[in-house]
Structure 1
Amino acid sequence: MTNTDRKHHEFIIVGSGISGISSALALLRGGFKDFLMLESAEGAGGVWRENIYPGVACDIPSVVYQFAEDQNPNWSKLYAGGEEIMKYLNQTRTKHGLDEQTRYGVKVSKAEYDDRNAQWNISTHDGEEYSCRYLIKATGAFNSPLIPKIPHLEDFEGTLFHTARWPKDLDLSGKRVAVLGTGSSAVQLIPIVADAAAQLTVYQRTPIWLLPKFDFNIASPFRWAFKNIPGSYALSRKLSYSGIAYFLQVVLSASGKHPRVHRLLESAGRWNIRRQLKDPALIEKFTPNYNLGCKRPSFSNNYYKAFSKSNVSLVSDGVERLTKDGILKRGADKADPFDVIILATGFNILGDASTSLPAFPIAGRQGLNLREYWHNSDGFKAFRGATVSGFPNLFLNLGIPYAGGTSWFETADLISEHIVKCVQTAQSRSSAEVEVKPEAVDAYMADMDKLLDQSVHHTGSCATSSSYYYDKDGKTPLYSGEAPKVSWTETYASPEQSYVFRSMESSAQ
């Protein structure tokens, strides 16, 4: 196929979740209108479109869990639920006319860089062909559900599904239900399932650190003030942002520098168990034997209470296998029967079998394969989670490693602004290519490794945490050790220090 046969755009964005929308909004603000979004599903929203399980909500305050340039002063709760977040995302897309620049139901099968023409050639599963100067991979990291390797999983004849594939209109009333996993999704849905099901059994491999959740409805006078009193909403955002940034420092990236506060938060987690439960055996089973932050913590005021109900039980012995009608736990002679089994087992982010990183085959300069590069060659290396050496004109939004930010929205906005700055610099130089320098990537990775020497994963006890933060080499390339906005200032001011800009002639050589 010749290049003239392909549908060409200056930018193609793959994915229409938080990072895809953020990328599109930044392009519009930068004056770039020739872009197309390709979305494999029949609607936008990404992780918030896919996750519709009962109780789904963000664990970041709503006032900062939004796009910086499209703020919503009308959140109903401090921590918004999934439906409200989806409504916000859809309203933002409609406001900026993004549906007109999106193709739904289009799944990308591969993207290959054309050195001679300094462009990306993109193929879809339906046989369509596209090309673009700049490719933005905005497919996120939480779209590869982790299915546990339990023997005879396929033998179960009842209803079995992952939380990210929750069946619409599912009725659990009167059902015998099992939930495998006790991560963030399980914490949100278990109290609701406990009220609906006739019997609920939760299979716990590793307990989770849970802190009290200070959630509340935002009263109408506050929403009125946010809209009508100058500075009030900005102040609430600043306070929330500062609190989250400090929390992440203490719990994750620099816990070694804040040992007393870190211990205090762990004490709050243990108190949160004791205030909801009186059974010493249950309290012991729910108390983690690893440090807070080794795996993703969460917040809840009613999770533990659910296990005081007569129809709810906890199994921490492990699962031997599934049978056609239930689950055989380790050491048992007989399987426990269930009608529904819910896999609350999280996502495969850094594993070899992950379909997230990348979500489709990407071949860069001279055929360099991004999956091979990340998983088998150089490891998860990137510059600020946004660009990879050897892949000109490719940008990763919500990529890894070490993409800074206090929430996915902030991370996406930071990377989106970075993309626009790079492209504007390329255009000012009449350059056809922009590619991050390998030495810039190596320097950034080294800086992050040094900064994260004081992270809980280096200073704490994490061996028993079973955390998805780790890759196969024992590194934790998912979060940055830098203060987010400060860390990007130098790159914004002079992208020439980190990137090489090539003309069409030099790129073809």
Structure 2
Amino acid sequence: MSATRTPSYEVLVIGAGFGGLGTGTALRRAGIENFLIIDKWDRVGGTWNANTYPGVAVDVPSPIYNFSFQQRSHWSRFFAPGTEIQRYAEEVADRQGLRGKLRLGCGATEARFDEAADLWRVRTSDGAELSARFLVSAVGALEQPKPPAIPDIDTYSGTLMHTARWDHSRDYRGKRVAVIGTGATALQVIPKLAEQAAQLTVFQRTAIWVAPKPDFPLGAAGNRMLDFPPAQQAVRLIGNVAVNAFLGLGLALSDYPRLTSAVLGTGEAVLKAYLFTQIRDRTLRRALTPTYRLGCKRPSISNAYFRTYTRPHVDLITTPIERFTPGGIRTEDGEHREFDMVVTATGFQVMDKGATPPYPVYGCGGIELGEFWDTHKYQAYEGVSVPAFPNMFHIFGPYGYAPGSVIPLIEATAAHSARAIGEARRRGATRVQIRQEPHEEYFARMYARNRNTYLFKQGCADSRTYYINYQGDGPAFRATTQAGMYWSNRHFPLDHYRYTTSRTAVSELGGEAQPVGASRSPITHP
């Protein structure tokens, strides 16, 4: 890589989804202007570019799926379709003055920390090298598709696609279609496919808890109400509390197992009652009833999912798949079914080796981040910083996310990153690095709290949840409330980080490379 010691940018942000846009806004609010946001997609939106399958929509209410600093008041529905969410991302880029900070169609392929110059060097998909004092990884968790591990899948001769790589040139009308998976994505795509497919077969490995979806057109009256700032803020606050409770209350109450069990038991009873109102066939209802506790997997909402299985041309198959064939799928009972198109709704690689982030990152001593996490478990202080990787911050890092809307997470970790970078600037430091002791204390505390949740005590491992990764740990979440996540990322002690200036680092950003001394020993800023 280039030997220059003067970085091209003060901050480089990888990812122009909501994480990158939130980070860019936090940097500007901290008075940091010399930054660049790159993304492999040709437009902003991240996850909402990857996921464009039929029926895609936000699964938290639209009025809360927006930033606190730019609340949108006009939505077509209470749960907006994906196209509107992507459009909102464009609005954020424009209103927050980020359009001139973007380089799209340019993804990262490798990042390497230059220890002598205290800067990051990043290779991109267009063959360029970018350098920056600080690096922020804002690649979303729902970005890398997870293909099913089914034998002979490469032999299938029909149309095969993952929901996160939907090919809109493929017509499924009047076709024999199979869907593998019954998670939150499948919940949205299955009813849509059923409307036009001649035959739809759904292969279910694990049932999902489903709640009714309080969706409705907002209309002129609803949007006028949201135009009134106090009403909009009240809806956003109440909505965030409700979503956090629905998705993460049981995890946050990990210190109170009896209360947790009572809350989950009540929720399960309510959702079973809802299933009964949708499906009267006892055998079908039993097949669609989860055998694990509510909350083991991310629950979802739908008004159409269950009723889709009552349609005569829709089949639910719970027999495990044995293998693919050139013409279709064979199950373990020996039955073979032929399909024109197979859709894999099998989720994403969340906290999987080589996928978080999806490019190699080399820190101090040449340590590669994925290898480090694979060997030492996934860990990051407040979900943001890792000791051997100075000047690097994560928006969706391990033990960062308190289940709920992802927007509060982004605002919290972006604020954390901007605060640490701002403090380094104030001290004139070229390197900011999380200290080992506070990092280990946070990791130990979050690891213990996560292990104390029902996920590890009530058979959730059998639910195949992405909350538990390939190592048998739960780094995809933190067992706290979102309020706790929000507060701690904004008020962490600044001395939890070490601020130093390398004697061989450049003396002034943007100037000529000027070593300030012959020694490479760092100057520590107390």
2:218 match: secondary structure: coil
- For residues 240-276 of structure 1, what are the alpha-carbon distances to aligned partners after superposition, in whole Å with 9 as ceiling and x for unaligned? 1221222234343326333222111111221222111
For 2:343, the aligned partner's letter is I
1:170-189 alignment, distance < 5 Å: 170-189=170-189
Q: How far has the Cα of 1:65 moved from its partner?
A: 1.1
Residues 494 and 42 (structure 1), Cα distance of their counterparts in 2 relative to 1, 3 Å cut: closer
For 1:351, the aligned partner's letter is D
Q: How far has the Cα of 1:488 moved from its partner?
A: 4.9
Q: How far has the Cα of 1:497 moved from its partner?
A: 3.2
Residues 251 and 220 (structure 1), Cα distance of their counterparts in 2 relative to 1, 3 Å cut: farther
1:63-78 alignment, distance < 5 Å: 63-78=63-78
1:110-509 alignment, distance < 5 Å: 110-228=110-228, 230-254=229-253, 256=257, 257-333=259-335, 335-352=336-353, 355-375=354-374, 377-404=375-402, 406-489=404-487, 492-493=490-491, 495-505=493-503, 508-509=520-521
What is the alpha-carbon distance in structure 1 between the residues aligned to residue 172 and residue 248 of structure 2?
40
- For residues 131-175 of structure 1, what are the alpha-carbon distances to aligned partners after superposition, in whole Å with 9 as ceiling and x for unaligned? 100011111112211111111111111100000011124321110
Unmatched segments (≥5 aa) in structure 2: 506-519, 522-526
Partner of 2:37: 37
What is the alpha-carbon distance in structure 2 between the residues aligned to residue 18 and residue 110 of structure 1?
22
What is the alpha-carbon distance in structure 1 between the residues aligned to residue 196 and residue 172 of structure 2?
6
| TM-score under structure 1 length normalisation | 0.94
Instruction: Using the TM superposition, name which of 164-173 and 178-187 deviates more.
Output: 164-173
1:55 match: secondary structure: coil
2:63 match: secondary structure: coil
Q: How far has the Cα of 1:59 moved from its partner?
A: 1.4
Residues 15 and 137, structure 2, Cα contact 8 Å, conserved in 1: yes
What is the alpha-carbon distance in structure 2 between the residues aligned to residue 51 and residue 479 of structure 1?
22
Q: How far has the Cα of 1:415 moved from its partner?
A: 0.8
Residues 213 and 301, structure 1, Cα contact 8 Å, conserved in 2: yes
Instruction: Using the TM superposition, name which of 22-31 and 482-491 deviates more.
Output: 482-491
- % same residue: 32
Residues 161 and 315 (structure 1), Cα distance of their counterparts in 2 relative to 1, 3 Å cut: same
Q: How far has the Cα of 1:498 moved from its partner?
A: 1.5
Residues 208 and 288, structure 2, Cα contact 8 Å, conserved in 1: yes
Q: How far has the Cα of 1:396 moved from its partner?
A: 0.7
What is the alpha-carbon distance in structure 2 between the residues aligned to residue 252 and residue 298 of structure 1?
16
1:113 match: secondary structure: strand
For 2:221, the aligned partner's letter is P
What is the alpha-carbon distance in structure 1 between the residues aligned to residue 478 and residue 492 of structure 2?
21
Residues 11 and 34, structure 1, Cα contact 8 Å, conserved in 2: yes
Residues 41 and 49, structure 2, Cα contact 8 Å, conserved in 1: no
For 1:343, the aligned partner's letter is T
- For residues 49-78 of structure 1, what are the alpha-carbon distances to aligned partners after superposition, in whole Å with 9 as ceiling and x for unaligned? 110111111111212211111110112222
For 2:41, the aligned partner's letter is A
For 1:283, the aligned partner's letter is R
- For residues 343-397 of structure 1, what are the alpha-carbon distances to aligned partners after superposition, in whole Å with 9 as ceiling and x for unaligned? 0111121333xx431221111112111011111x211010111111111100111
What is the alpha-carbon distance in structure 1 between the residues aligned to residue 137 and residue 101 of structure 2?
16
What is the alpha-carbon distance in structure 1 between the residues aligned to residue 429 and residue 86 of structure 2?
38
Residues 389 and 436, structure 1, Cα contact 8 Å, conserved in 2: yes
Q: How far has the Cα of 1:93 moved from its partner?
A: 1.1
Q: How far has the Cα of 1:94 moved from its partner?
A: 2.1
For 2:45, the aligned partner's letter is G
What is the alpha-carbon distance in structure 2 between the residues aligned to residue 487 and residue 164 of structure 1?
29
Q: How far has the Cα of 1:400 moved from its partner?
A: 1.8
For 1:151, the aligned partner's letter is P
Instruction: Using the TM superposition, name which of 111-120 and 239-248 deviates more.
Output: 239-248
What is the alpha-carbon distance in structure 1 between the residues aligned to residue 69 and residue 36 of structure 2?
21
- For residues 391-427 of structure 1, what are the alpha-carbon distances to aligned partners after superposition, in whole Å with 9 as ceiling and x for unaligned? 1100111222233463221111111111111111111
What is the alpha-carbon distance in structure 1 between the residues aligned to residue 488 and residue 352 of structure 2?
33
- For residues 456-504 of structure 1, what are the alpha-carbon distances to aligned partners after superposition, in whole Å with 9 as ceiling and x for unaligned? 2134332421112112332111111223344454553453232111123
Unmatched segments (≥5 aa) in structure 1: none
Residues 232 and 81 (structure 1), Cα distance of their counterparts in 2 relative to 1, 3 Å cut: same
2:129 is the counterpart of 1:101:
no
| TM-score under structure 2 length normalisation | 0.91
Q: How far has the Cα of 1:6 moved from its partner?
A: 8.1
Residues 365 and 441 (structure 1), Cα distance of their counterparts in 2 relative to 1, 3 Å cut: same
1:502 match: secondary structure: strand
For 2:107, the aligned partner's letter is K
Residues 289 and 464, structure 1, Cα contact 8 Å, conserved in 2: no
Q: CA RMSD in A?
A: 1.9
2:309 match: secondary structure: helix
What is the alpha-carbon distance in structure 1 between the residues aligned to residue 126 and residue 167 of structure 2?
26
